[in-house]
Amino acid sequence: MSKEYTAINPADVPAKVLRSGDKLPTVGLGTFGSDRFTHEEVADAVRNAIRLGYRHIDCAAVYGNEKEIGQAIKDVIAEGVCTREDLFITGKVWNDRHAEVEKACQETLDDLQLDYVDMYLIHWPFPNYHAPGCDGDSRNPDSKPFSVEQFMNTWKQCEALVDTGKVRNIGTSNMTIAKYEVTLPLMKILPAVNEMEMHPCFQQQELFDYCLKNQIQPIGFMPIGSPTRPERDVAEGDAVDIETPEIQAIAKARGVHPAVICIKWAIKNGQVTIPFSVHPMEYLSNLTSSFTDPLTDEEFASIKNCECGSRLVKGQVFLWEGAKHWKDLWDEEGVIAQ
């Protein structure tokens, strides 16, 4: 690997300072391999990405690959590439473990072979569960609408993990402003981050601004629109970010792939981004994009025109009986749908 590619100095990668004072590198490696890559292929990407300069790895129990990733992390530390303290590792509690967060977190720690994770997120703000690999029409009859009481019970368990030292920061994922409005006042430890879908065709400006106002660092997933996302998340009319005229024009002028422009947009926008790839050339390019040749103000402004409200992860498999539309999951009317 080192003979084929030149490693990046991790110190060159910008970082965001969280409310705890911890530093979060602005580009991390996502580890959701969808249905296209084996767990070992994803783990190999983690292993080599760290060798090439990555220090931020975004994991989740539901991805099913934490044991393999744990071995990869152990390997690079043993090689002397980095220390544990150099890494920022994120884990997430899946929907069916909301009542047993400590147990779920300990399983993640055991699989990752770590004493602590730097960030632990509530993956979705409700305990609605679907079987791994289900299709987009699947529905669980036990699914329920968002409950403040249930969410806060889960959040308090996350807060307790901070007290034990097993978790350094806690945060949310797939939240909405309406849900924050009723939960933030009840929290003892406020969220450090919110992971949310963000790409040029789905910029979520209102939620983005809300998070920043409340010292919640936005982390954007699917930064190039995830062309390899699962089939259940593909719908007619979905935008393709790398094919938009604005992105293609900038990419052509710069002589780079349109995906590079999407990453540069995310960085200039002020978010942390976690693109996934198992190809060294791609994930090295993503990391390099965080600090080289930033977009000009004019280029950045032109990408604002890509916004077309194209949410790609609609979450319809989490809908409850009586829900009218997948938009009910996202409180688009400004109130929590029931």
- In the chain (338 residues long), the average pLDDT of successive 10-residue segments reads 83 98 98 88 98 98 97 98 98 98 98 98 95 79 96 98 98 98 98 98 98 98 82 80 97 97 98 97 97 98 97 94 94 94
Among 5, 54, 63, 129, the one annotated catalytic: 63
pLDDT at 137 (0 to 100) = 77
Contact predicate 338/224, CB 8 Å: no
pLDDT at 3 (0 to 100) = 63
Q: Is 63 a catalytic residue?
A: yes
- What does pTM read for this prediction? 0.96
pLDDT at 231 (0 to 100) = 72
CA distance 165 to 20: 13
pLDDT at 268 (0 to 100) = 98
pLDDT at 214 (0 to 100) = 98
Please give the C-alpha separations between residue 252 and each of 37, 122, 242, 243, 285, in angstroms, as whole numbers.
30, 39, 12, 12, 16
